[in-house]
């Protein structure tokens, strides 16, 4: 991340690296590479230096959230399955020192009951869900509004 663009982390939890092939009827046909391109393109347009990351490892996600808190870096996070049970991630997100927006490609409230609870939502600046990859675009635009 360089220049005068403000750094932003877009963090993705388990199975999101399989976008485009994983349940396209739920998650759409955009590949993970397409998500990365869209986030970095829009981020640049908004004056952000966006770094997109994906992990299937809860500990790695916690370390990234610590990095963001230590650097006062805004975060867009799709915790994926971690949303519903990772208190370690919730506690790391609670340490935020810049806006943190939770995103979901699908609408968790229109799906199975276990997906209706987010342990992250209470410590996030806001949540955007149900707009496909557009959820990330909306979250980045919200960050731009919050960090002006």
Residue ranges for the binding site for substrate?
Answer: 78, 84, 91, 105-106, 115
Query: Which of 27, 85, 87, 109 is labelled catalytic?
Result: 27
87: annotated active-site residue: no
66: annotated active-site residue: no
List, as residue ranges, the binding site: 78, 84, 91, 105-106, 115
Query: Which of 104, 109, 116, 136 is labelled catalytic?
Result: 104
Backbone φ and ψ for 145, nearest 5 degrees, come out as -65, -35
- Catalytic residue set: 27, 104
């Amino acid at each position: 991340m360089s220049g005068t663009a403000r750094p932003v982390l877009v963090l993705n939890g388990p199975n999101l690296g399989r976008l485009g092939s994983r349940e396209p009827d739920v998650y759409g046909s955009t590949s993970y590479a397409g998500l990365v391109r869209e986030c970095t393109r829009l981020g640049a347009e908004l004056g952000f230096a966006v770094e997109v990351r994906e992990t299937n490892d809860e500990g790695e996600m916690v370390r990234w959230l610590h990095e963001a808190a230590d650097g006062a870096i805004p975060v867009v996070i799709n915790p994926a399955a971690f949303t519903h049970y990772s208190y370690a991630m919730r506690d790391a997100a609670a340490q935020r020192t810049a806006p943190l927006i939770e995103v979901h490609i699908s609408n968790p409230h229109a799906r199975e009951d276990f997906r209706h609870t987010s342990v992250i939502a209470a410590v996030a600046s806001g949540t955007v869900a149900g707009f496909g990859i557009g959820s990330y675009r909306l979250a980045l635009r919200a960050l731009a509004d919050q960090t002006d």
